[in-house]
Amino acid sequence: MFDVNAEIEVTARPASAGGVPTAISLRFPTDEEWAVRQRSRKIIIRRLGRGRSEVVAPEPSQADLTLFEKITTNGAPTLTPAEAAKVLEALATADVNSVAIEGSTATVEMETMAGKVVHTLKVPTADQVIRFRRSAFRMIELPYNQQELRQSPDAGARLYDECGGSSADYEGAIPALHKDAAVRGVIDDVDRQLAPKKDEENF
């Protein structure tokens, strides 16, 4: 059972503590706190030519440290931005294991920091998917054949609610991050079903 109000304890090895295992007590960030961090993360796409591109993942930043310091509950040791980012990524775990679609209903099995959860929602319509994609990503053209991509979990959470998403595996509210992951999992699964099928006999 995932409970956004439960106290969370993680073990880190901060450099400020000499790398000694240190217990850190945290609360789960609010949807708005996650969104502020997510909007600050810049993904750089470099166009290398001849149809090739390189995706540069965001570097740990002050936004990671700021969020970590907001959610600590026991006077945690000083962390570097990289150490804070590692803790936050553990809290943000929302890995889709499987998607099953029957009729117009999708069932999504997901792994979170508290274990497995299952979501059900209606499959989004094509119009809903287009609106989602237009609001979930912000692309900015940069000099030297580069693009800056920023993502927001807000759009996925709104679409989840529009599709009547629900889960019995939560105590209280479902985090927007989890709603977003569930929606993206369903959209990816539908896209795979629509993709051209390769005829193995031709190979």
Rounded mean pLDDT of 61-75?
Answer: 89
pLDDT of 203 reads 45
Question: What is the DSSP pairing of strand 52-56 with strand 94-102?
Answer: unpaired
Containing structural domain, residue 28: 2-195
Of all helices (H) and strands (E), which one includes residue 91?
A: helix 81-91
Question: Is residue 21 one of the residues assigned to a domain?
Answer: yes
Mean of per-residue pLDDT scores for the chain = 89
Joined together, the tokens standing for residue 11 give 């073990």
How far, in Å, CA of 50 to CA of 55, rounded? 15
Q: Dihedral (C-alpha) 125, 129, 130, 133: value to the nearest 10 degrees?
A: 170
38-59 pLDDT, tens digit per residue, is 888 877 788 887 778 888 777 8
Question: Is residue 200 one of the residues assigned to a domain?
Answer: no
pLDDT of 78 reads 86
Q: Which residues contact 171 (CB under 8 A, 6 or more apart)?
A: 1, 2, 3, 4, 5, 6
Question: Is residue 201 one of the residues assigned to a domain?
Answer: no
Question: Is residue 203 one of the residues assigned to a domain?
Answer: no
- Range with top average pLDDT, 12-21, 150-159, 170-179: 170-179
21-34 pLDDT, tens digit per residue, is 988 999 999 999 99
Question: Is residue 89 one of the residues assigned to a domain?
Answer: yes
Rounded mean pLDDT of 95-117?
Answer: 96
Question: Is residue 138 one of the residues assigned to a domain?
Answer: yes
Number of domains into which the chain is organized: 1
Q: How far is CA 47 from the centre of its chain?
A: 25
CB of 119 closer than 8 Å to CB of 161:
no
∠138-46-194 over CA atoms, to 5°?
A: 60
pLDDT at 16 over 50: yes
